[in-house]
């Protein structure tokens, strides 16, 4: 049996930063045909951005350590899972001006399959309070979805555990920290057993400060063609379906069905209250129109109690996409989330864990039991609301 | 006859990005002595910026792919054409904070002979409306002269067409794009026939979005010493000369004559209505004080109906300079330009072409016919106005 | 005797930028064991940042040319002098968004032992007037402590003068310049005689513009553990001790004594009026709790008339630190400093010199004479005030 393999690719504390690196199963005496590689991109706004690719057979997963350990795409048995963002390049964080476009600058780099919104704040732009150096409360303009997706990883390591099948793990550490500000650390581990159709994302957020610290975390997991198309369905056992505004409310009757690419489509957002199973997990399924393909995600409500569905099914060229967004809260501005008690606080040194499990399904048989169980739950419990979600905004109070 | 030469130097889609590269005529079996080279700069704020130099004999042209395919300078038979900006280095876009200095951050990198202002917006900073992710109209602060000059090219290629003389072409592609924002593409081609005194800039702006999109484009073409000096003249056949403000109005009597470097000089801007010739072209001439040197530009009014003259003849050390600015409009904030109908809209997939032709002239004989023709036109038609240009600002309405 | 050694490591004007470089005494035929090395960092937010380390025996000094020639730390006979900032990495300026966090973005990179605040402005964020391109006065939001610490050096050179002992000098040039803005140049020279405990910082600020220009310069010199601990003392001969706000006023009775790390501690800032000796110099001492270690700084009041003491003795993990801040003024926003006549103006081409001399002391005997002299002065002259400092703010007038 080959030995456990461990390689550090980035470590800022030791000034380690590999440029181009790869390893194949055969190099390490493993059976099978899998590989892991690091590439440094060239050209345009992606100059210097690094991609880490895990080719584990059935799944090929591409991470972007330079962009906060996001996952840019997954290839499942030859089919690309992700979307086609107008931001086609992997934009380097130094080229992203978060404050621009009225606080929407984050959208200039947004192209990932899985991107994290957080950690000091997530959600919509706009003013919220913060504590300055003088200890006084002041107001700052939060920018859309925070900073973590635009911070390069300070550490990146690859581990392969021998076994049958072997287990590939890629772990990254991203620091969101500032003097007189937060000291939040994201430790993210992506795991795949070679040859399987299952992907695990295990995150820990640690408050390294000596004081308690608010945090927000919302996973923005995005799907476009070909999985998304007219007639594709979103399935999750939920109690309430809360349209985020009038516009979404007017379309609530088909909240869980997708339209095809529709030029001029304006986003529809639904805040959902998921119902966990006996183990505390919620199965969330995106099902292809033909019903024979899907991605099944499990979130744990003790970790991520909220779920948001974002439909942005505009023209293909404008980024035909839906976002499935498990989170500590919903994507409102932090001042609103706080008013509703959805902004967790970490004590000094405290850590929280967040696990997402993804299964990439093929064939009606694989999807059917999940579809049936979720449909049964929703028939009984699901109550789509026809009025926009009530929002307490302390600024308007 | 040697073969057509084609080399890709940058292509983000293939992660190609040459660092230092060059080719000489003799390498390719061409006669004559010309060369093309790419250099990656080091040091200060220009670390990583790339320059592409075409040495075509009579003309030596230096492009900056990293700064939106601007042209930093031209050397014409040993004389440098351009200006001496206080921003002496070619500042990397990642070091330019467009939002800083009240929206004037663009000025930190401004040092080109030819720089494009655009594409989503150009002109003065200040608020204008835009459409957010929710489909709602909101306000954002536009920054001076837009973003295109601070976006690295995603593609750069060199083509040499055999012939007598051979034709050197350098083509770059720059993407100004953002999710829930524009998808504008600039394809810029600079062409020089070896040994000639003529430079062509052929730009296409393409709307890659599925929806119509506003665009602005203004070429900021800048001249300092030695071509500019006391007594140098600006010549173009124009109907109206509209001072942009009271200050410019007070100096309108010598709107087309330059002063020498004048410490404390405050900029004077004149918006001009050019008169095209029978082919739709406008000859625009900057003539040296001695009358024996000049740069002659041709713009087409169907492409670029407006022309602006910017005089900023402060001290040599502060950037003694004049800008000649053919554009789709004038350099007001976009909300003002829109109110006057000078902001074009591109349909989905639509492209517009823009051609500027530059002739670098030497000797009185070369300049005289142009001077005489323009003087004759202006004697008949040119009406400098003594009141500041009327401006409809929808915010003040 | 070996020859004078001179090496240029960075020169943007020649596109010189060494990546990794070092020289040892023996390489150059010098006796003794000293070295100078340049390293380019990898990983996280410090990718591409360069460190220049001088190992001169008793003192090991690390400069950061990429961050405006700041000095990140000093190691004195094995003891690290500096502090442990939450911003543990040397953050690349392209990753620092000065405008973020309500103008406090500077804090994201703040981790130096000696960092300069300036040059166009220093001090607190907030609105101040400036002159736009049109010659009009407008308002812009100044960001905390200005830009110089986030501009990469355009020139870096190393000089070794033979002698007994040899003298090592590292000189850097940083340009803070912008069209229609300042053209300020910092030329900074750090000198150490091999084997000594003395460090000289000689700065010149030159106004390269053709017009007069305001400037601000405040040195932020920061100490944490182990030199700083409960019972450590600040000593300098001062006349007035002016608390910057109510909070500092309430703690003025122990303004010169430090607490240990205190979670939740809110900064206390005292503006001081130093008393020079007969040669115009002020000795400023930070003394360890045991009284047997210290750093003695000399500032010249004709160059730097003001001195500020910043106490930020929060928890070790949040950055337990004190700042000793000799400056042209105090760290208020520039509009306030101007109203009090503390913003110098440089004429066209004018330069000002600033020298700071640091002695790293060991043993009670080395510290005692300084302690006694300062105590004697303060007993006679020092008047801590119990009311917050009066501030004329023209915006509130």
Please state the ipTM of this predicted complex: 0.96
CA distance A108 to chain B (A): 4
Q: Is the pLDDT of residue B14 over 90?
A: yes
Q: Is the pLDDT of residue C134 over 90?
A: no
- Is residue C143 within 8 Å of B277, Cβ to Cβ? no
Of the candidates A351, A308, A314, A349, the residue with the CA atom closest to the CA atom of residue A327: A308
- Residues in chain C within 8 Å Cβ distance of B316: 210
- Is residue B190 within 8 Å of B201, Cβ to Cβ? yes
CB contact under 8 A, A267 and B134: yes
CB contact under 8 A, C315 and A210: yes
d(CA C270, CA C307): 9
Q: What percent of chain A has pLDDT over 90?
A: 92
- Is residue A352 within 8 Å of A186, Cβ to Cβ? no
Smallest CA–CA distance from A103 into chain C, residue:
C100
- Residues in chain B within 8 Å Cβ distance of A86: 177-179, 181, 183, 208-209
- The position carrying tokens 């003594």 is B386
Q: Is the pLDDT of residue A347 over 80?
A: yes
Q: Is the pLDDT of residue A83 over 70?
A: yes
Q: Which chains touch B (3 or more CB pairs under 8 A)?
A: A, C
User: DSSP characters for C219-237?
Assistant: EEEEE-TTTS-TT-EEE--
Q: Is the pLDDT of residue B132 over 90?
A: no
Question: Rounded mean pLDDT of C313-338?
Answer: 96
Q: What SS3 state is found at A379?
A: helix
For chain C, give percent helix, strand, coil, nearest 5: 15, 45, 40
A39 pairs with which residues across the strands? A51
- Is residue A40 within 8 Å of A17, Cβ to Cβ? no
**Radius of gyration over alpha carbons of chain A, in Å?**
21
CB contact under 8 A, A267 and B177: no
- Cβ partners under 8 Å of residue A320, min gap 6: A83, A84, A224, A225, A228, A261, A312, A313, A314
- Check CB contact of A263 with chain B, cutoff 8 Å: yes
Q: Which chains touch A (3 or more CB pairs under 8 A)?
A: B, C
CB contact under 8 A, C87 and A178: yes
d(CA B88, CA B224): 13
Question: Rounded mean pLDDT of C329-336?
Answer: 98
Q: What angle do CA B188, B192, B195 make, to 5 degrees?
A: 165
Query: Model confidence at C136, in pLDDT bands (50, 70, 90)?
Result: confident
Of B11, B14, B183, the CB nearest to A86: B183
Question: Rounded mean pLDDT of B122-139?
Answer: 90
Structure tokens at A155: 């550490």
Query: Model confidence at A316, in pLDDT bands (50, 70, 90)?
Result: very high
- Cβ partners under 8 Å of residue B90, min gap 6: B41, B46, B49, B51, B64, B66, B67, B72, B109, B111
Buried b (16+ CB within 10 A) or exposed e, B113-132: bbbbbbbbbbbbbbebebeb
Q: Is the pLDDT of residue B372 over 80?
A: yes
Q: What pLDDT is stored for residue C130 in this prediction? A: 86
- Check CB contact of C67 with chain B, cutoff 8 Å: no
CA distance C48 to chain A (A): 10
Q: What is the rounded average pLDDT for all residues in chain C?
A: 96
CA distance readout (Å), A227 to A236, A320, C27, C64, C330: 17, 11, 64, 49, 61
Query: Model confidence at A207, in pLDDT bands (50, 70, 90)?
Result: very high
- Cβ partners under 8 Å of residue A254, min gap 6: none
Q: What SS3 state is found at B226?
A: coil
Could you report the per-residue pLDDT of C172-196, keeping only the tens digit for each? 999 999 999 999 999 999 999 999 9
- Pick the residue of A44, A51, A249 with the most B CBs within 10 A to test the interface with B by mutation: A44
Of the candidates A339, A309, A108, A300, the residue with the CA atom closest to the CA atom of residue A214: A339
Q: Is the pLDDT of residue B69 over 80?
A: yes
Q: What angle do CA A363, A366, A371 make, to 5 degrees?
A: 110
Of C46, C97, C312, the CB nearest to A12: C46
Question: Chain A 209-238, CB below 8 Å of chain C: which residues?
Answer: 209-211
CA distance C377 to chain A (A): 31
Of the candidates A179, A183, A182, A112, the residue with the CA atom closest to the CA atom of residue A150: A112
Could you report the per-residue pLDDT of C339-397, keeping only the tens digit for each? 999 999 999 999 999 999 999 999 999 999 999 999 999 999 999 999 999 998 887 76
Q: What pLDDT is stored for residue C397 in this prediction? A: 61
- Is residue A292 within 8 Å of A363, Cβ to Cβ? yes
- Pick the residue of C19, C44, C85 with the most A CBs within 10 A to test the interface with A by mutation: C44
Query: Model confidence at B397, in pLDDT bands (50, 70, 90)?
Result: low
Of B85, B94, B104, the CB nearest to C94: B94
- Check CB contact of C20 with chain B, cutoff 8 Å: no
Of C48, C155, C179, the CB nearest to B86: C179
Predicted TM-score (pTM) above 0.95: yes
Q: What percent of chain B has pLDDT over 90?
A: 92
Q: What pLDDT is stored for residue A397 in this prediction? A: 60
Q: What is the rounded average pLDDT for all residues in chain B?
A: 96
Chain B to chain C Cβ contacts (< 8 Å): 119
- Pick the residue of C132, C137, C140 with the most B CBs within 10 A to test the interface with B by mutation: C132
CA distance C350 to chain B (A): 13
- Check CB contact of B293 with chain C, cutoff 8 Å: no
Smallest CA–CA distance from C318 into chain A, residue:
A209
Q: What is the rounded average pLDDT for all residues in chain A?
A: 96
Q: What pLDDT is stored for residue C147 in this prediction? A: 98
Q: Is the pLDDT of residue A376 over 80?
A: yes
Q: What percent of chain C has pLDDT over 70?
A: 100
d(CA A267, CA A258): 12
- Cβ partners under 8 Å of residue B200, min gap 6: B189, B190, B191, B192, B355, B356, B357, B358
- The position carrying tokens 């007594």 is B231
Could you report the per-residue pLDDT of B306-349, keeping only the tens digit for each? 999 999 999 998 999 999 999 999 999 999 999 999 999 999 99
- Residues in chain C within 8 Å Cβ distance of B110: 179
Q: What pLDDT is stored for residue B133 in this prediction? A: 80
d(CA A84, CA A224): 7
Query: Model confidence at B231, in pLDDT bands (50, 70, 90)?
Result: very high
Phi, psi of A106, rounded to the nearest 5 degrees: -55, -30
Question: Chain A 133-172, CB below 8 Å of chain C: which residues?
Answer: 133-135, 138-141, 143, 151-155
d(CA B234, CA B310): 11
Q: What pLDDT is stored for residue A215 in this prediction? A: 98
- Cβ partners under 8 Å of residue B214, min gap 6: B120, B334, B338, B343, B344, B345, B346
CB contact under 8 A, A209 and C86: yes
- Residues in chain A within 8 Å Cβ distance of C45: 12, 151-152, 154, 175
Could you report the per-residue pLDDT of B276-299, keeping only the tens digit for each? 999 999 999 999 999 999 999 999
Q: What pLDDT is stored for residue B325 in this prediction? A: 98
């Amino acid at each position: 049996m080959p030995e456990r393999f461990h390689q550090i690719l980035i470590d800022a504390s030791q000034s380690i930063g590999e440029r181009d690196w790869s390893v194949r199963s055969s190099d390490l005496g493993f059976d099978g045909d899998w590989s892991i590689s690091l590439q440094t991109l060239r050209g345009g706004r992606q100059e210097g951005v690094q991609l880490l690719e895990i080719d584990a057979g059935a799944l090929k997963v591409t991470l972007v350590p330079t962009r906060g350990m996001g996952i840019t795409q997954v290839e499942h048995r030859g089919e690309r899972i992700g979307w086609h963002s107008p931001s086609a390049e992997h934009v380097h964080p130094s080229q992203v001006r978060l404050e621009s476009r009225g606080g929407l600058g984050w959208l200039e780099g947004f192209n990932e399959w899985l991107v994290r919104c957080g950690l000091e704040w997530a959600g919509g732009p706009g003013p919220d309070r913060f504590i300055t150096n003088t200890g006084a409360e002041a107001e700052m303009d939060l920018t859309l979805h925070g900073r973590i997706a635009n911070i390069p990883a300070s550490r990146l390591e690859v581990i392969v555990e021998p076994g049958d099948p072997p287990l590939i793990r890629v772990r990254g550490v991203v620091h969101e920290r500032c003097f007189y500000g937060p000291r939040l650390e994201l430790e993210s581990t992506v795991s795949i057993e070679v040859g399987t159709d299952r992907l695990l994302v295990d995150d820990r957020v640690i408050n390294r400060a000596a004081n308690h610290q608010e945090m927000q975390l919302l996973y923005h997991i995005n799907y476009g063609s070909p999985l998304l198309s007219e007639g594709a369905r979103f399935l999750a056992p939920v109690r309430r379906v809360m349209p985020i505004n009038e516009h979404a409310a007017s379309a609530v009757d088909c909240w869980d069905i997708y339209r095809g690419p529709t030029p001029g489509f304006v986003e529809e957002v639904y805040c959902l209250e998921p119902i966990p199973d006996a183990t505390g997990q919620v199965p969330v399924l995106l099902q292809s129109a033909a019903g024979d393909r899907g991605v099944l995600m499990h979130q744990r409500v003790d970790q991520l109690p909220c779920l948001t569905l974002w439909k942005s099914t505009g023209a293909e060229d404008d980024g035909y996409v839906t976002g499935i967004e498990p989170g500590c809260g919903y994507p409102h501005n932090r001042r609103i989330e706080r008013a509703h008690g959805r902004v967790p606080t970490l004590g000094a040194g405290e850590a929280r864990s967040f696990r997402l499990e993804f299964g990439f399904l093929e064939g009606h048989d694989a999807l059917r039991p999940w579809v049936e169980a979720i449909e049964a739950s929703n028939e009984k419990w699901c109550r789509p609301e026809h009025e926009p979600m009530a929002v307490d905004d302390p600024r308007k109070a």
